[in-house]
Structure 1
Amino acid sequence: MSLHRRAFSPAAPLVATLVLTMVAACGGGNPLGNPDEVANPPASGTRKLSFAYFQRCVQPILEAQLPITLNGVTTVNSCASSGCHDDTNGTGGALRLRAGAALVDLASSGLGPEQIRATEMYRNFYSSQGEVVFGDTLASRLIAKPLVRGVLHGGGLVFDSEDDPNVRILRYWIEHPMPAGQDEFSAAGDALFTPPDAATGACNVE
């Protein structure tokens, strides 16, 4: 009696390629959804930027209505809008922002670092700092993308040049980290204002 072994050939695998493109006011994110809620633990590493300067000087830029040029058409929008980097509906990649985040009273005795890190303003700070390249300011996506310098930006051209007042604020923030060994809430952040008071001083740009 001869035994015949039935040979099984594996089915040819199904190969599918899905290409989705969404460019509506801002692009670069996943159009099918948004990231899960992100916890904000203390920043790691040796460099930390000033939270005080961020909320007083940088956050207003991210919420400002600015002229944006895309494909030769100029419209007005904000970085924190729902079509761009809004944390809920935005399609603008890694940078996630909460519009209308309340200022944090850093002088309040009832607020410690952990309480501040739980605020919406801190979420914006943390996400924005993640777009920073220490030691190479203009390579930071927070600046390079709105300038469209060597990187694509689905949101188009936001700033015409490095001399734009908003770019100068962003550069100053990035180029003035807190002293080594001090966190983002360091009192050294007062020196980034004139007079040196994070609550009442004007934002330095040079």
Structure 2
Amino acid sequence: MRRIAETAMHMFVERGFEAVTIAEVAEAADVAVNTVYNHFRVKEDLVLPPSEASAGRLAEIVAARAPGVSAARAVLDRLRDEIRQRSRTVGLSPGFGRVLPMMLAAPTLAARLRDLGEQMVAELAELLTAETGAAPGDPVPGLVAAQIGWVHSLLYGEIGKRTVAGERPDDIAEAALTLLDVVEGLLSEQVLTYATRKDA
């Protein structure tokens, strides 16, 4: 599966996402077309596999937080960890500078990224509603989820902008950590402490 995805990514970067067919990917990877579809339901999954580009990402981070940690703090801490590790999850892996422009140039991939962000916020809002016991129609869980989603999206946008500009990953990481510090200072205390997990 990894070989298929890596073959496809190389072809997409060289020729453009829309110019490459699944049949061409299969031929280059020396597998049958059906084999590609067995692992990747649609062509976009070759670039954004559901296992890595999950709509449940924010909700999963928050659900796994330790006692005494709020929803926003859990996400901020995870993002900082991923930046420090130069994680592929936040776009700091080698070669991403060529991948991102290809993704943004493909309408279906760009749309999928937007949809993914909206789905992340929706799933987080649902989790926060359940965890806090918020009444039906209470807007607070959705508003907090939207602000956390905004932070997540803002960070990815900043990393993407600097990546396309050709900045070094270490410089991008430093700028991203600074941005998170600034953003954290702008978030209200209500957001930063909302849904703090009680001690076990």
TM-score scaled by length of structure 2? 0.29
Of structures 1 and 2, the larger Rg is shown by: 1
Which structure shows the higher strand fraction?
Answer: 1
